[in-house]
Amino acid sequence: MKLAQISNISLEYDTVLIDEAQDANLCQLDLFVKQQHEAGKNIFIVGDSVQAIYSFRGAQSKFLRQLDQTITDIVDHQLSKTLRFRKNIASVANQLLFIKKTLLRGQT
C-alpha cells in the first residue's frame, strides 16, 4: 500500500468507491482519495466518522473529517432515513453526535 502511495499510481478506473472510510489510515486516504481526485477520478466515500474501530493500525476518524480541508469540492450528505430504528431514536442519536462533533472540533 505504501509503495503504491509513494509511486503516485493512477488507478485505471474512472470512479472509486470507498466504503467504511472511517477506518482508513492516512496512506489509504492519500492513495485512494487525494491522489485519485487529483488524477480526475470520481470519488465516492461512505463512512461514519463516529464508528472508527481500526485505530490500532493507524486509522483515525479525524482523517476522514479533515478531507474537506484539502479537497475543496467535497459534497457531504447525511443519512436521512434508516430502517434500523424510528425517527425519535434517530433524533436523540443525531443530537448526541452533534454534541460529540462539536466537542471534538477543537482537538487535533
CATH number of the CATH domain containing 56: 3.40.50.300
In a domain, 41, yes or no: yes
Q: Report pTM.
A: 0.67
106 pLDDT higher than 70: no
Taking alpha carbons only, the member of 5, 20, 95, 11 closest to residue 64 is 20
What is the per-residue pLDDT for 108? 46
Beta bridge partners of 44: 17
In a domain, 28, yes or no: yes
C-alpha cell at 6: 509513494
Structural domain of 35: 2-79
Q: How far apart are CA 24 and CA 34, in angstroms?
A: 13
Confidence label for 14 from pLDDT (cuts 50, 70 and 90) = very high
In a domain, 97, yes or no: no
In a domain, 92, yes or no: no
CA 95 from chain center: how many Å? 20
pLDDT tens track for 86-102: 888 888 988 888 888 78
Confidence label for 15 from pLDDT (cuts 50, 70 and 90) = very high
In a domain, 101, yes or no: no
Query: How many domains does the chain divide into?
Result: 1
In a domain, 63, yes or no: yes
